[in-house]
């Protein structure tokens, strides 16, 4: 993605975050929106710092480019996502059983449905990628 577009996206995150925090302090929003606004503001600032550093520091730019394009790093990143997905499904399945035993039906459904959603996303992605490659 173009660096100007990334900088504009960072500015948008900062503005949206500041607006949500402002709405909270003006009494127009609850704690959830204040937390979301703070998170968006911080993410926007950190991304902007990263983009500025990328444009001004040649050694950092070279390191980032190698990390993004190196096959070994891409393989490790893919495996890390796979492990995280496996772990999430197992944790959500165990949580659904725990919540069922504790009698919390709403949480049971949420945990079971989230595990099911991840498995459906995997199956759909697998189907599409097998046709593509």
Q: What is the mean pLDDT of the chain?
A: 94
Q: What is the pLDDT of residue 1?
A: 57
DSSP letter at 117 equals: H
Q: Where is average pLDDT lowest: 2-6, 83-87, 111-115? A: 2-6
Residue 114 to residue 110: CA distance in whole angstroms: 6
Q: What is the pLDDT of residue 67?
A: 84
Query: Which two three-digit tokens encode residue 74?
Result: 């891409």
- Sign of the CA dihedral running 15, 16, 20, 26: positive
Give 117's pLDDT tier (boundaries 50, 70, 90). Answer: very high
CB 14 within 8 A of CB 49: no
Q: What is the pLDDT of residue 66?
A: 87
Q: Where is average pLDDT lowest: 13-22, 44-53, 60-69, 107-116? A: 60-69
CB 120 within 8 A of CB 92: no
Look at the block and give the residue holding tokens 């097998």: 130
Nearest CA to 23 out of 38, 45, 7, 44 is that of: 38
Q: Where are the alpha helices (DSSP H) in 2-70?
A: 3-25, 31-56, 58-69
Work out the average pLDDT over 1-7.
82
């Amino acid at each position: 993605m173009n660096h100007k577009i990334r900088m504009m996206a960072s500015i948008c995150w900062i503005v949206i975050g500041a607006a949500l925090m402002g709405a909270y302090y003006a009494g127009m929003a609850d704690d959830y929106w204040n937390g979301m606004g703070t998170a968006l503001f911080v993410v926007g600032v950190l991304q902007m710092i990263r983009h500025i550093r990328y444009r001004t520091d040649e050694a950092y730019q070279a390191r980032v480019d190698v990390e993004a394009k190196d096959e070994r790093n891409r393989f490790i990143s893919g495996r890390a996502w796979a492990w995280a997905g496996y772990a999430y499904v197992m944790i959500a399945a165990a949580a659904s059983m725990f919540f069922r035993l504790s009698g919390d039906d709403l949480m049971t459904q949420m945990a079971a449905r989230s595990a099911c959603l991840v498995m459906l996303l995997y199956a759909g992605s697998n189907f599409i990628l097998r046709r593509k490659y």
